[in-house]
Amino acid sequence: QICFLLFAVLYIVSYFIITRYKRKADEQEDEDAIVNRISLFLSTFTLAVSAGAVLLLPFSIISNEILLSFPQNYYIQWLNGSLIHGLWNLASLFSNLCLFVLMPFAFFFLESEGFAGLKKGIRARILETLVMLILLALLILGIVWVASALIDNDAASMESLYDLWEFYLPYLYSCISLMGCLLLLLCTPVGLSRMFTVMGQLLVKPTILEDLDEQMYIITLEEEAIQRKLNGVSSMVEYQTVELERELEKVKSKKTNLERRKKASAWERNLVYPAVMILLLIETSISVLLVALNILYLLVDETAMPKGSGGPGIGNASLSTFGFVGAALEIILIFYLMVSSVVGFYSLRFFENFTPRKDDTTMTKV
Residue spans per domain, the chain: 212-264
- Whether pLDDT at 200 is above 80: no
Give the containing element (helix H, strand E) for 356: none
* pLDDT (tens digit per residue) in 76-116: 777 777 888 888 888 888 988 888 889 999 999 888 887 77
**Rounded Cα–Cα distance for residues 330 and 320 (Å):** 8
Q: What is the pLDDT of residue 119?
A: 76
- Whether pLDDT at 22 is above 70: yes
* pLDDT (tens digit per residue) in 266-291: 677 677 878 888 888 998 898 889 88
Q: What is the pLDDT of residue 14?
A: 93
**Residue 162 vs residue 178, higher pLDDT:** 178
- Whether pLDDT at 5 is above 80: yes
Residue 310 in 3-state DSSP?
coil
* pLDDT (tens digit per residue) in 110-146: 888 877 777 777 888 888 889 999 998 888 877 777 7
Of the listed ranges 3-7, 159-163, 186-190, 318-322, the least confidently predicted one is 159-163
Please report which confidence band the pLDDT of residue 41 belongs to, taking 50, 70 and 90 as the band edges: very high
Of the listed ranges 39-48, 86-95, 213-222, 312-321, the least confidently predicted one is 312-321
Question: Could you please report the per-residue DSSP string of 144-201?
Answer: HHHHHHHH---HHHHH--TTIIIIIHHHHHHHHHHHHHHHHHHHHHHHHHHHHHHHHH
- Whether pLDDT at 21 is above 60: yes
Please report which confidence band the pLDDT of residue 12 belongs to, taking 50, 70 and 90 as the band edges: very high
What secondary structure letter does DSSP report for 120?
Answer: P
State what percent of residues in the chain have pLDDT above 70.
Answer: 79
Q: What is the pLDDT of residue 329?
A: 87
274, 206 Cβ separation under 8 angstroms? yes
Please report which confidence band the pLDDT of residue 48 belongs to, taking 50, 70 and 90 as the band edges: very high
**Rounded Cα–Cα distance for residues 56 and 90 (Å):** 11
**Rounded Cα–Cα distance for residues 72 and 87 (Å):** 22
- Whether pLDDT at 26 is above 60: no
Q: What is the pLDDT of residue 238?
A: 56
**Rounded Cα–Cα distance for residues 204 and 253 (Å):** 16
Amino acid of residue 223: E
**Residue 100 vs residue 306, higher pLDDT:** 100
Residue 22 in 3-state DSSP?
strand
